[in-house]
């Protein structure tokens, strides 16, 4: 994932959050979810890049949230964890 892909992902997430706000679903701005995603992106983008690995984060997240994609057990674990974390951070 390069910087351009990271920027597109950030814009997409920002739009998604704004769409939730329009539906009166508001997430806390800081909390365990913020730390989770910060660590997730740092590990995926920064550390993998430092190790010389090229990860396609955009493709991974698309498959993770695409319900037509058949999930592996670890993918189901990550998806479940994300939903539980976000549910705890609704205001």
Rounded Cα distance, 81 and 91, in Å: 19
Closest CA to 36 of 70, 91, 72, 87: 87
pTM of the predicted model as reported, rounded to 2 decimal places: 0.58
Give the number of other Cβ atoms within 10 Å of residue 33's Cβ.
Answer: 19
The answer to whether 1 and 45 are in contact (CB under 8 A) is yes
Count up the domains in the chain and report the number: 1
Closest CA to 16 of 63, 86, 74: 86
Domain that holds residue 49: 3-88
pLDDT in tens, 65-82: 888 889 899 889 988 988
pLDDT in tens, 10-59: 677 777 778 888 988 887 777 787 788 888 777 776 666 666 666 677 77
Q: Which two tokens stand for residue 83?
A: 């939903």
């Amino acid at each position: 994932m390069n910087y351009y892909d990271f920027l597109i992902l950030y814009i997409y997430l920002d739009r998604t959050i704004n769409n939730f706000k329009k539906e009166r679903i508001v997430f806390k701005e800081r909390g365990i979810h913020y730390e989770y995603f910060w660590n997730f992106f740092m590990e995926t983008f920064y550390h993998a890049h430092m190790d010389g690995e090229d990860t396609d984060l955009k493709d991974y997240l698309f498959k993770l949230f695409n319900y037509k994609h058949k999930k592996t057990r670890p993918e189901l674990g990550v998806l479940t964890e994300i939903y539980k974390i976000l549910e705890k951070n609704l205001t």
